[in-house]
Structure 1
Amino acid sequence: MTNERAIIAIPMGDAAGIGPEITVKSLAKQEIYDACKPLIVGDAKIIEKAIEVTDVKLSVRIVTSPAEGKYEFGTVDVLDLNNIDLSTWEAGQVSAQCGQASFEYIKKSVELAKAGEVAALATTPINKESLKAANVPYIGHTEMLEDLGNTPDPLTMFQVHDLRIFFLTRHVSVKEAIDQMTKERVRDYLNRCDKALQRLGLENRKLAVAGLNPHSGENGLFGREELDEIAPGVEAARADGIDAHGPVPADSVFFQALHGKYDAVLSLYHDQGHIAAKMTDFHRTISITNGLPFLRTSVDHGTAFDIAWKNIASSVSMEECIKLAATYAPKFTADSI
């Protein structure tokens, strides 16, 4: 393994939101440059404006390829797509031009990653309404990356400190989520989670599945989902060679994983895992999209139009996002999940 710093592409996000601010605030930290070679993919005019608003001591250096970057602290290397018209740009507003531009930053970053010119993507917030205004045919990053990376059903993992959380179900009602908790799905996801951790460089992977009902159902006293679907799914995964455990009561499993008993937890529904991660450390909860042919980390917050361009937004999440990409990049294997 080489000690060479990895090049991390940072698509600037929606130019009207907090993405440019938190990016330049992050790159004003020496520790980011100690960890990696950060490359902004965006609009140089907006980055210069963000530097002015945040009053960080940085200068912009425009490059046409990652290989041209100097990656020296104090200078930000920007692959300039020059796609924002400042005469019509407005801070904190839904905008078709910003929606279109944010998609172009992602598209270019993915092209660089697929070509091996950057080691990973660390993405900033984009805005669904701006994407819609631009007639971009995606509602968010996941859908873009699924298409651009030719990866159906990518797998999301949260990491906060040493706690890693996968999600069996996504944005559906709790009732629908329960209907999706089949033994076949649990088995499939445990296999996918194990493979995702392997791609990130983890060995001897130990996975837990959170319980659904209080005390994981108390052997059927509080519901049969654990007995009929979840536990059989865990056993099927164990038969596949996965070191899977559970269902473990949800009121303790996340704490146990945070303190090293498990390498990751499979959360059964959206809020179960989100609450655990964000109560552990809201600003340092980072999302990793697994299954892509490249590594991608992301902040877990939005464009925050209400505070954008006021030098209010914290860059902690963005800093953690970049550092996590730098941590996993040397270990990441790009084979298909």
Structure 2
Amino acid sequence: MATMKFKFTIQGYQTDAVNSVVKVFSGQPFQDKVSYRRDAGSQDDDRTLFNWQQSDEELFMGFANAPVSLSETQLLHNIREVQKGSNIKESSSLAGHMGACSLDVEMETGTGKTYVYIKTMFELNKQYGWSKFIVVVPSIAIREGVQKSFQMMQDHFMELYGKKARFFVYNSKNLTDIDQFSSSADLSVMIINVQAFNARGKDARRIRMELDEFGSRRPIDVIQANRPIVILDEPQKMGGKKTQESLKEFNPLFTLNYSATHKEHHDLVYVLDALDAYQMKLVKKIEVKGFDIKNLRGTDGYLFLENIVISPKKPPMARLEFEIRYEKSINRETRIVGVDDDLYALSKETAVYSF
């Protein structure tokens, strides 16, 4: 029975999103297979039937990401160059989130965000030699979807880069995967949902426990030694001080944040918003709310959008300030309106705003 294969078309905007991250590290030297002697546990010897021919050096060898050699000044310069090229407001300083930098990539839902960050891994590996990545997701359902994406895209990236990524889903009861993650010199990816290290309960706590079956080691210590690049998929769903502190325990080299709706903002390097996606025919439709102004001359009054009011219990609201100029004074009033409200400004000439 023939196996069905998916054909992936390389999209220009996806390549742009990948390059926007890769260019941030322009000037970083290529360093492949940065080795360290890894902690193999309390056992004197980990040789088995399958690795009995390995020397001590091979048996205890681990491979970590090389450090970012660029200074903060160089990184900020590169970020600003990327932002200038993409018409994004330039960062005034380097975001001190986690690791050497924290980059935001904004992509509308349905435009291939997962594909983009997987390809970004391959490009960072090709250009700079970095090979250890962790993908953090907000739920088990998304975790399963990401794992499926890696499986479906294996052959595609093999054709492009001549290699496959070794990937696994973190499981506190299958800790040999973490040892293989550390000892492999290949491009390696750990996929983990936030509950696996941030929730209460014995299974979640195991990542920070010295485990007999893991050679009296703590899994988090073994992970940290690799200086992984941490990719946050939908970071706005992973808010909270506790979660952010827990993420820092991975000891990330730097952090990449992928979302359509960032809640916390760092250094933005790529934007594909809803309007862009619609104009590029990547989504079928978008809905834009506007308003009409009646009975008001433009020289007599002004409308200002102060801010958008967000609530988990109701749709977004707009806080508007309406300014009307009288003969010798200016009258201002503020209203909070929703998308289905009409705003009537109190004035000599009534202005009607229909959303």
Task: Tell me the TM-score normalised to structure 1 length.
Answer: 0.27
Task: Tell me which structure has the larger Cα radius of gyration.
Answer: 2
- Of Structure 1 and Structure 2, the greater strand share is in 2
Instruction: Name the structure where helix makes up a greater proportion of residues.
Output: 1
Q: Which has the higher contact order (CA 8 A, sep 6+)?
A: 1
TM-score normalised by structure 2 residue count? 0.26
